[in-house]
Amino acid sequence: MLPELLDAIGNDNAKGEYYLTDLIAMASQSGLNVETLQPNEGWEVDGVNDRVQLARLERIFQQAQAETLMRDGVTLRDPARLDIRGSVQIASDVIIDVNVILGGDVTVEAEPIVVLRSTTPIPVPQPAIPREQLSPVLQEIWTKVEEAVAIRPPETPTEHTLEAVNAWAQGPFTTWIQARTEANRAVEALSNELTNAEHPHSIPERAVGAALFGYLYEDLVSGVRGAPIPEEITNDQELLDVYVGALTNSTSPVARRALDAYLFCARHVAEYLGETPWAEWGPYCYARAEDVNAVYELVPHAQVQESPGAPGASDATEEAPEDTTAPPAPQS
C-alpha cells in the first residue's frame, strides 16, 4: 500500500514540493490504521532543506553516537573528530584517536588494549614494545608527526605558466607552508621533554624520536621541491639552473636537519642498541640518511658511509650504563 500512496503524493502547493507528511492524511482517508512513535530526540524529526542543514544534522548524529560509545567505556581523544559510517560494536577500554573514520560493520575487542588511529602510518620500523607502552611524550611526538605529514601539498595548477604558478605559490602553496610550519613547531616543542626524560626506555626512545624528526623534515623539504616550475623557466636552461640552485639553497637547511636526525639515530642505535630488539632502527636511519644526502649532497658520501651504524662500520659497542647523547635540537 505504501508505494501506491507515495505515488499519489502531489506537489500542488506554493513551493511545488512533495511533502511526506501528506501520507498521514492519505492513509487515514484510505481506511488504514495510523500509529505514532515518539522520537527520543527532537532533532530526529528535523526537516532538511539544504546541505547546510544536512551537515548540521550529521554532526548532531555523530555526536550522539560518540556519547553512546563513551558511556559504554570507550575512550575518545576528541568526540568531535570521530566519524561513524556504519554499525559499530566496540568493547570497553578501547581508545580511539582523533579523526578516525569507522565504515561498514566494525567490531573491536579490547584484549589487549586497542588504540584506533586515524593518521596514515609513516614508514618507520615498529618499536620493540607496543606503541601504547612508549612514554607519553614520544607517543605525542609520533602522532603529531603523522598529523603533520598528513598535511599534503596542494594540487598543482593545470597550467604551468609563470602567472599560474605564481598565483598558486602565493595562494594555496603558501597556505600549505604555513600549516606545515605550525605543525612542525608543535612537534619541535616536545623535543626537550623527550631529550631530558629518564625512564626504562629513554635510550631507545631518543633514537626513535630522532628518526621521527628526520622524517618530519624530509617530508617537508620533499613537498617544497615538488612544486611546479614555470614553463618560462624550464624552457631556458640557464634560468632553470639558477632556479634549481636557489631552490636547493633554500631547502638545504631543512634537509640538513633531516640528515643530522637520521645520523644521530643510526649512531645511537650502533652505540647503545646493537644487540637489542631496537637494532633494526639503525639500518633504517642510515638508509634514510643516505637517501637524503644523495638528493641534497649535504656532506661527502664517504662521511655518511663512515658514520656509526653504516654497513661495514665498526661493530656496535655494548650498551652503556648511561646515555649522555641527545637528538639534535630542532630549529624553527
Question: pLDDT of 102-119, one tens digit each?
Answer: 877 888 886 655 666 655
Within-domain flag for 86: yes
- Average pLDDT for 148-156: 89
Separation between Cα atoms, residue 152 and residue 172, nearest integer Å: 11
Per the CB < 8 A criterion, the answer to whether 288 and 222 are in contact is no
| 261 has a pLDDT exceeding 60 | yes
Are 86 and 151 part of one and the same domain? Answer: no
Encode pLDDT of 51-63 as tens digits: 999 999 999 999 9
Within-domain flag for 140: yes
Domain count, the chain: 3
| Sign of the alpha-carbon torsion through 224, 230, 236, 239 | negative
Are 261 and 186 part of one and the same domain? Answer: yes
pTM over 0.75: no
Within-domain flag for 322: no
| 191 has a pLDDT exceeding 90 | yes
Encode pLDDT of 198-255 as tens digits: 998 999 999 999 999 999 999 999 999 999 999 999 999 999 999 888 988 899 999 9
Are 142 and 173 part of one and the same domain? Answer: yes
| 277 has a pLDDT exceeding 60 | yes
Range of the domain at 53: 49-118
DSSP state of 150: T
Are 68 and 193 part of one and the same domain? Answer: no
Are 6 and 77 part of one and the same domain? Answer: no
Are 145 and 285 part of one and the same domain? Answer: yes
Reduce the DSSP state of residue 319 to 3 states and report it. Answer: coil
Are 150 and 247 part of one and the same domain? Answer: yes
Are 64 and 150 part of one and the same domain? Answer: no
